[in-house]
Homo-oligomer: A and B are copies of this chain.
Amino acid sequence: MAHQTPIEYEQASPVVKAVYDDIMATRKTDWVNNFWKVLAHHPATLQRIWGNIKQVMGSGSLDPLTKELVYVAVSITNNCGYCIASHSAGARARGMTDEQFSELLAVIGLANETNRLAVGYGVPIDEAFLPR
C-alpha cells in the first residue's frame, strides 16, 4: 500500500498545498498531521474530508472541546489507534485535563457495558422515550 507514506508539503501538488495551507491557517498552527498527508494521495478525498471537518468541528451550539470528547468516544469504541491519539491531542489542546480524560474513559467504558446489557436482555423501550 504505497498510499500510506505521508506526502510532505514540499512534494505536494498545488491542490494539496492549498488544503495544507487552509488547515494551518484555520488551526493557527505551522504543521499538518499525517492523516491529511496520507489522504493527499487522493486529492478529491483530501478536499472533501477537510471540508467536512471544517463544517462539523467548528464552533456551533456544541463547543469544540465537547466535539473532540465525542470524537474520542467514537474512536475508542471503534478501536482506531490513530484517531484516539490525534483527537486526544486535539481535546488536550482545547483544555482537556487528565481528570477529564479519565472521566471520559469511565463514561465510554460504562456505556459500552450497559449497551450490551440492554441488548442482551432485550430491554423494551419505555413509552416515555418514544418520539411524539
* A interface residues (Cβ-Cβ under 8 A, vs B): 1-6, 31, 33-35, 38-39, 41-42, 44-45, 48-49, 52-53, 55-57, 60-62, 66-67, 69-89, 97-126, 128-132
A106 engages B56 (CB within 8 Å): yes
A61: chain B residues within 8 A (beta carbon): 97, 99-100, 103
Check if B75 sits within 8 Å of A73, measured CB to CB.
Answer: no
Q: How many copies of this chain does the complex contain?
A: 6
Q: Which residues of B contact A132 (CB under 8 A)?
A: 2
User: Given that A1-B121, A80-B79, A129-B89 are contacting pairs, would A69 and B71 also be in contact in the complex, using a CB cutoff of 8 Å?
Assistant: no
Query: Measured between alpha carbons, how far is A125 from B33 in the docked complex, in Å?
Result: 9
